[in-house]
Structures are given as C-alpha cells and as structure tokens.
Amino acid sequence: MKQADLLIIGGGPAGVTAAIYAARKGLDFMMISRDIGGQAAWSGRIENYTGCQVVSGPELTARFEEHLKKFSIRLVQPETALSLTRDSGRFRVSGEKDAYSASAVIVATGKRSRLLGVKGEKEFLGRGLTYCAVCDGPLFAGRDVAVIGGGNSALDAALQMSRIASRVYVLESSGDFTADKILVNRLSAAGNVEIYKNASVMEVRGGRFVEGIRFSAQGKESILPVRGVFVEIGLAPNSEFAAIASRNEKGEIKVDCSNGTGVPGLFAAGDVTDVPEKQIVIAAGDGAKAALSAARYLLSL
C-alpha cells in the first residue's frame, strides 16, 4: 500500500491545479489519475480560459503536463479509483493497480460522457460512434456525420466537424439549444450543417461500421445515412467510488465554499461536485481552494 499525507484523485484542471498548489505548500502528497487533462483534453477550441485567448484542448493539456513537471510529484498514471473508505482518521483508496492510504483526500475525478441508451450504441462504439470529436473527428473527413446534443460540447463538436466533414447533422432533443449564443451563431453560419430540433435518436445502424441513424422529429420517423455519430448529450460525475461523501440527485458530490464535503479531511473539486457552472477555469479555481483547505486541515492534525 502506498501512503502519503494527501492523495489527489484525478488529473483534469481541478486535479492538476490542486497538485501544483499542494507542491508549492510542500505537502507530502500523491496524485493518481487515468490521464492528464480530463475533459479539457477533448475540447477543440477553448476561448474562455484566462490568459489563453484561444487554445485547443490538447495544447492546454500539454501546458498542464509541463507545469506539473516543474515539481517533484508522485504521479501514478494510468490509475482508476474503485473505492474510498475512512477508518481511524485515515482514508483508504483501492485502485485498479494498487491501494493508497492518506490523511486527506481531494476527489477531482470530473465527469464522463452520458450514453444514448439506444440499439446499436454499444455495438458501433469505435466503429463509427464516438464520444470525442477531438480524438476521432479526423477519421471522418469528407463524410456525412451526425452530432447528438444541444449544449456547448455538442455545438463545439459540430463546428469542428463542419470544417472537415462533407455534411453535419445536429440532432437536439429539447426544442432549443442550451449552448452559448456565440456557438449557436457560428453553427447557424456554417453552410454544411443541418439542424433537427425535438429529435429523438432511436437506433444506430450499419454493417461492420455505422451506416446511419434512425430518429424521430416532430412525430416523423426518418433515417440519416451517416458514417459517423458523435454523442454529446451531457456528462455524468465519476463519483460512485466515493460513496462516503454526500451526493445530490445527479450524483455530484456536495461541497461547501471551502470544497469540504462534510467528512473531515475529504475534499472535492471541479465537475464531480455540485458547483453549478462546469467550466475549466472554475474547476481550476476549485482545485486551488481544495488544496489550500487540505493543507489547513493537515496542519490541524
């Protein structure tokens, strides 16, 4: 079992920032994560991160990694936390690779893509269906694709694909976009984008690879002959392993203004929490607060 005073779980903007602040405080800590960058690594174009007028997700992730290398950080990667328990004032985390023990823990595990839950989704994953336009978009250059969703991530994906795909179909279910107005305007100006509102996807179909989707819109069922399907219908928090923390109906960990969870020594930061706005800059700020709060807690022991 690996031990430290503080364990940081997650390597997205919140986890990375927490690690940087913990290092500057001189804390004895470890960081475990599946990757570095988290959801930020999937973004094609980031325009609202302070100090970076425009930066891509991969570029920002590279800057995160460069910043981490400035410090001597005990990083275990890739690693996924499976359970979190507390006994006699110390936390125990069981991971896929090892077990970890710490006096304080910061959970910064972010969120994961929600599933459509329709026929063909699992069968065609990696064979034309994907949850990451940044990762897989170039594979569909010159082809017709569909983007499912109406929020920022969906419109960002649609805009990315409009530059390389032959035609982009956007299907959103709520009747109107929830994305930022600037993204809606850009999408409306794209000449190769067709939008379906109040659309419900019923099936992803094909042979060896995706060949189309069956959907209904305004009471009419149709089939779109597409070769790629990008699912962008929201995110679910990676909080199941942290059952000792109180969570809301969405599964998000409840935190106070100091990122405390109500469990002494347990803090949470970023998109895994119930902080209302899910933004990279907010997650980073949360990570800083959580690290400072954890340092204060450790001094009190």
Place of tokens 């530059």: 163
Determine which one of 28, 35, 98, 135 is catalytic: 135
Size of the chain, expressed as the number of residues it contains: 301
Determine which one of 132, 144, 271, 286 is catalytic: 132
* 98 a catalytic residue: no
* 135 a catalytic residue: yes
For Cα atoms 211, 216, 220, give the angle at the middle one, nearest 5 degrees. 115
Determine which one of 5, 52, 136, 180 is catalytic: 136
Q: Name residues whose C-beta falls within 8 Å of residue 67's C-beta, 6 or more positions apart in sequence.
A: 16, 20
Place of tokens 């990694």: 65
Q: Dihedral angle at the C-alpha atoms of 74, 75, 76, 80, nearest 10 degrees?
A: 120
* 132 a catalytic residue: yes
Helices 57-68 and 13-24, packing angle to 10 deg: 20
Give the active site residues.
Answer: 132, 135-136
